[in-house]
Chain A
């Protein structure tokens, strides 16, 4: 702990911030303590070495080489401006479209004549579907009354489909049933 205090004094001495009495105190400690004295000599030698080392310069032509690498600030500013304008437009465009639609389409839709015509078209479509459906049912009923054999043939066909369905199921499931029994 005592040595730490003298280490701090050594740093202050290097920075030239040591008071006269602190300097005397440090010097007397260094005379008495070989460990701190050795460290002080090493720190002082490093300090001298670094203070003597010159500030180095780059190779000749550094400025020209670096200026040649500089990007164009004007081009960069243009690019940034264009990006800002595009972003602004991309935000404004949908709003403009909505406003345009509101101004042009909504007045048309909200006109009584337009609403009435839409209702009329819808009613005509419903009526047409009803007429076609009714005509189909009516025609089928009249055909069955005039030609009852058709109904008979339809019943026969349905019966045949039912029977063949049963036969098919038997044929498909048969091998499986045999193999299962064989295993047992």
Chain B
């Protein structure tokens, strides 16, 4: 039995410290997914906490035949999509500047040039993601940051592999269009696939 399974068994019996080790192990992917989905660090932390609490209270419904990380990320993304739907009326548009992640903001004012460039890139990423419908955004985040296969994303989002490929295809084209319209993409005449 691996370490994770031991922690989960202990957590099922009410051991919060054991579940703390699970949180320690998965805090980064869960928080990153929440932040990429919500574009707000405060909301992302609350969503990540809520996802862990839901996972803890629903541990009995977790099927050990599936990857725990997939189950946990699924809880996180479902919660984030619910939040996005609730706040749809006040969704940020691409014209409004999004607040950068605090870990980037502290180095903004006095940071060296590469750091400033990284911050700008980060803002651009969130501005582009905010343009996508929640289901498309979820597929893109899971593919790029969590490096899940199409099968895993399809299982998580309770749909087919072809539906996921189609969502990613449309999402990438939409991102490319927005990028070109906003002048975010530098023009290049070279033809290379790499």
Asked if A73 meets B56 with Cβ closer than 8 Å, knowing A50-B140, A59-B102, the reply is: yes
- B116 in contact (CB, < 8 A): no
**Which single member of B27, B121, B184 contacts A63 (CB below 8 Å)?**
B27
Report yes or no: B49 in contact with A65, Cβ–Cβ below 8 A. Answer: yes
CB–CB A49/B121 < 8 A: yes
Most chain B CB inside 10 Å of its own CB: which residue of A42, A62, A70, A71: A42
Tell me which of B84-92, B151-159, B170-178 binds A.
Answer: B170-178
A52 → chain B, closest Cβ, in Å?
Answer: 7
| Cβ-defined partner of A55 (8 Å) among B29, B128, B185, B186 | B29
Size class of the contact patch on chain A: 35 or more
Q: Which of chain A's residues 126-173 have a Cβ closer than 8 Å to chain B?
A: none
Q: B191–A31 contact, CB under 8 A?
A: yes
**CB distance A58 to B23 under 8 Å?**
no
Task: List A residues 33-81 near B (Cβ within 8 Å).
Answer: 37-43, 45-47, 49-53, 55-59, 62-67, 69-74, 76-77
Q: A7 → chain B, closest Cβ, in Å?
A: 7
Candidates B31, B59, B121, B169; contact of A11 at CB < 8 Å? B169
* Residue pair A62, B20 in contact (C-beta under 8 Å): no
- Given the known A-B contacts A42-B185, A67-B19, are A73 and B24 also in contact in the complex, defined by CB atoms under 8 Å? no
> What residues of chain A lie closer than 8 Å to B185, measured between beta carbons?
41-42, 45-46
Give, as a whole number of angstroms, the nearest-CB distance from B138 to chain A: 14
Chain A residues within an 8 Å CB radius of B27:
57-58, 62-63, 66
Where chain A touches its partner, the secondary structure class is: helix
Q: A27-B191, A55-B28 given as contacts; is B176 within 8 A of A39 (CB)?
A: yes
Question: What chain A residues lie within 8 Å of B41 (beta carbons)?
Answer: 59
Q: B48, B53, B179: which contacts A58 (Cβ < 8 A)?
A: B48
- Tell me if B145 and A70 are in contact (CB < 8 A): no
* Residues of chain B with a CB closer than 8 A to A43's CB: 172-173, 175-176
Q: List the interface of chain A (C-beta within 8 A of B).
A: 7-8, 11, 13-14, 18, 23, 26-27, 30-31, 37-43, 45-47, 49-53, 55-59, 62-67, 69-74, 76-77
